[in-house]
Structures are given as structure tokens and as C-alpha cells.
Amino acid sequence: MARHKTKPFIPAPTRRSCGKNRYNSEREAREVADQQELLFANQGLRLKVYHCSFCGGWHLTKQL
């Protein structure tokens, strides 16, 4: 079975009607969050994905 190499996910810029980085789907936001957590693992970064009722998109926030 062939193994596919994964390349870094770079989201396309989207309109920010609420002033935050907007992702079109929960999956897209989670992929970005996972990559950011790996990049900043030495700092203990944990991100949470949430749906925005204002713009209808998905955002990231730090988990406390």
C-alpha cells in the first residue's frame, strides 16, 4: 500500500467578519490547531476549536 506524505496545511485567507481568523469547517480548524500545537509543543500550547455564532465560521482559542 502506498503511503502519502502529508504536507503542511496552509489555510486560504478568508473574510473576517468578526475580526478573528476564520476557518470554513471544524476539520480545517482542527488541522491548523494540531499543527500549531506541534510547532509550539515546547511551550505547552493547547488550542480549542469552536463555532462562532457571529460569522458562522470556526475559530481557535487557547485552552486554560
**Rounded-to-integer distance, Cα 64 and Cα 29, Å:** 18
pLDDT value, residue 18: 81
Alpha helices by DSSP H, listed for the chain, are: 26-39
Provide the residue range defining the domain that includes 40: 26-62
pLDDT value, residue 64: 47
Let me know if residue 3 belongs to a domain: no
Let me know if residue 32 belongs to a domain: yes
How many domains are contained in the chain?
1
Burial of 59: CB neighbours in 10 Å, binned 0-12, 13-18, 19+: buried
Residues of the chain falling short of pLDDT 70: 1-17, 63-64
Let me know if residue 57 belongs to a domain: yes
pLDDT value, residue 19: 81
Main-chain phi, psi angles of 61, to 5 degrees: -145, 155
